[in-house]
Amino acid sequence: MSTVPAGVDRRALKRRAVVASTVGTTIEWYDFFLYNTAAALVFGPLFFNNSEAGGVLLAFSTQFVGFAARPIGAAIFGHYGDRIGRKYSLVATLLLMGGATVIIGLLPTYETIGVAAPIILTLLRILQGIGVGGEWGGSVLMAMEWGHRRQRGLMAAWPQTGVPIGLALGTAVVYFFSGPEFLEWGWRVPFIASVVLIGIGLWVRLTVLESPAFAQVKTSGKVAKLPLVETLQTQWRDVLKALLVRTAEQAPFYLFTSFVLVYGTQKLKLERSDLLLYLIIAACIGIVSVPFFGWLSDRIGRRLVYGIGVVLTGLYAFPYFALLDTRVGGLVLLGMILGLVFHDMMYGPQAALISESFGTGIRYTGAGLGYQLASITAGGPAPLIAAAILAATGSSFWISIYILACAVVSLLALLTMHPRDPALDEADQASEEDQDAVRGGAQA
């Protein structure tokens, strides 16, 4: 039986779900990346009252705390997303993430309130991490579960474009306010401006219907009582595979987008404004490349597209820093663009690759948990590890070795991943039949 109200255009609902998911993820990643950029550029001296190298390490440490909180968000909101629905969990994550971001923009510095400043900053970063941890699973499922399985790579890739859009927006705002007053008050503007984006995101998300696959689960009365427990009992191996397969995507990404600002300004003495502009350009390319590689995975297979991205990222570990070390603007820009394009080859098909490993009833929890645990093992530690290596050796050699090792881990995990047969999932199957019936009626 169809879970879409009679007389309602399913294609219009599908477009609305994609827009709502993408707008929401854009806002949340805008908020999250603002912190990453600020941690690399200003949080050290403003909140930690320390030397240049020590301040950066402390700032990146609070950044890691946000990553560590993301699996907690995935478990909390995954529970409610698999029991109550994707829609309202996504509204809650948006409010949590946005509220913490605005408060960071209003937070007094170390000079004003002393040690309370970094403590409050860390607590707000934890709230950001919980919010974004619950966001990803719901947003990609809201879009993916509205699509036919033959186009799930593309459908799930649209919310993924929230990452390059959010990165470009966040970096652009920092770029435009990075004048002489940046350290004094300019850095606050991007954080406070988030309140406008929150209002837009809420308005869009509240107009969306629940995904047909989850609606089918509720109609059949097969909602999981304890999604987290069921996930860990029945599909813990798939959670582990998702964690490991993200290593080559997650760790290098934060080196290419956050650590590069430290490496470029401190090691290479490049202008901060130039690096921010290059990062904006590279991120904008991702707005096209992420959905393209999601679409390509629908045509030639997710594992193949993802695997090519893993291999290219590993091979690029040494050329990346070689291009940066030239200090030539065009080559530095090329280096940053290629790094993110190779990342997008993994990130485009990644949402569908991971989500298709789990049944509808525990998909929010399972996919979200596997995805966010990589934040602890790969994404969060990466800038810390790279900054520590740079401080200890003054060279990028071992950072490149680190990237190469991440690629090996992901490639091994990818070889063990196999998509779940949609026929085994009654909710997925019913949703597919519903869409086929709609498509057949339209053709008739």
CA distance 411 to 267: 31
Query: Which portions of the chain are predicted below pLDDT 70?
Result: 1-9, 40, 49-63, 420-444
> How many Cβ atoms sit within 10 Å of the Cβ of residue 265?
17
Paired tokens of 257: 């987008």
Query: Taking the mean position of all CA atoms in its chain, how far away is CA 23?
Result: 13
pLDDT at position 203 is 83
Paired tokens of 300: 């030639």
For 377, phi then psi, to 5°, come to -85, -25
- Whole-angstrom CA distances from 394 to 53, 260, 263, 270 are 12, 14, 10, 16
Q: Which of 69, 174, 171, 89 is nearest to 138 (CA)?
A: 89
pLDDT digits (tens, 9 = 90+) for 13-43: 888 888 888 887 888 788 777 777 777 677 7
pLDDT at position 420 is 67
pLDDT at position 421 is 62
Contacts of 6 (CB under 8 A, 6+ apart): none
Q: What ranges do the domains of the chain cover?
A: 10-212+225-443
Contacts of 374 (CB under 8 A, 6+ apart): 242, 243, 244, 246, 247, 250
Render the burial of 199-210: b for 16+ CB within 10 Å, e for the rest.
eebbebbeebbb
CATH number of the 10-212+225-443 domain? 1.20.1250.20
CA distance 87 to 135: 10
Output the pTM of the full model.
Answer: 0.84
Amino acid 282 reads: A
